[in-house]
Structure 1
């Protein structure tokens, strides 16, 4: 398969006041922290959100690798529900010196375009800023960052910018072109 150029943009907020919250969408939308580390649930979210946009780096993780990652102090998974159905998630991962990365963020395809993403990103970013409140001994958050790439959904970058994230780095790398794996074998293309 041919190579394709993939652009990766890194964005950050350096103060809680940088966050520009989105409006809460209409309907029964709730965001809940998944407090019990569950490799099965986290893998479901990862594969369901990223299956059509080439999230593949964690697909080969074993159960033990998922468990180890999820049990790290400060790792949190915040899940958006639409009428009780998981619609998407934000995964927070603390780093050194009060830095928190939004490691993964996105919506299951059926829930995109319904204004849930802006609300979930606002909520998840706010939880990154107050992470130390839930984790005794963790330093106060000084910076929240994330990255997105040209393979992500068409509205991802706009959502990040509208929430107050600022671009701080851009990289372009060649990658082998591959078909999206879908959320399970044989699911893509639909």
Structure 2
């Protein structure tokens, strides 16, 4: 385990007019809401997207805990598909006083660098503003997340409102999408 200095940035948007949409993609990828709460789907998305970026806080969640998190009317999961394959997701949580948090957002590493992150975030922000009573959309990201995360949030019009730095203990390598991924010969 390593001690690492981690910076966390908190960003927000107070108006749908602040959104700066990403350039349109042709053909436009399919974005669908996962309307059936399904713990294995969200756990798959969480590990497939976040496994390379030290997302660890939900790894030990039980099926029941995942179900309780997902089976709430204030939570929405939207999955981005490219040529029929899940490429990323955004999880939106309506909170008190008109806040909507982007609880999780990201692409699988194989789909980065194609403009899909900007597209997914644009559509996610549009959906957040369409949720009843939304007055603010917010998110936090950190220096352990994907290298384009902070720039993407800011490019879409989100503004930083807080920054925190702390020491964190983390593994030498990210967990990856499944146990042992870093020891396998990926060339096969």
**Fold agreement, TM-score > 0.5:** yes
CA contact (8 A) 2:9 2:163 kept: yes
Does residue 1:188 correspond to 2:179, yes or no? no
Residue matched to 1:43: 43
Residue matched to 1:105: 105
Q: Describe the SS at the equivalent of 2:181.
A: coil
Of stretches 27-36 and 108-117 in structure 1, the one that deviates more from structure 2 is 27-36
Residue matched to 2:117: 117
Hey, which bits of structure 1, 4+ residues long, moved more than 6 A? Answer: none
Does residue 1:150 correspond to 2:150, yes or no? no
Residue matched to 1:69: 69
CA contact (8 A) 2:74 2:95 kept: no
Residue matched to 1:7: 7
1:173 maps to which of 159, 166, 178: 166
1:121-166 per-residue CA deviation (whole Å, 9 max, x = no partner) reads: 000011111112xxxxxxx100000011001111111111110000
Extract unaligned runs of 5+ from structure 2: none
1:159 maps to which of 152, 156, 164: 152
1:76-103 per-residue CA deviation (whole Å, 9 max, x = no partner) reads: 0111100110000000011111100000
> C-alpha distance in 2, partners of 1:2/1:107?
26
CA contact (8 A) 1:131 1:141 kept: yes
Q: Describe the SS at the equivalent of 1:118.
A: helix
Residue matched to 1:135: none
> C-alpha distance in 2, partners of 1:34/1:40?
12
CA RMSD in angstroms comes to 1.1
> C-alpha distance in 2, partners of 1:70/1:3?
32
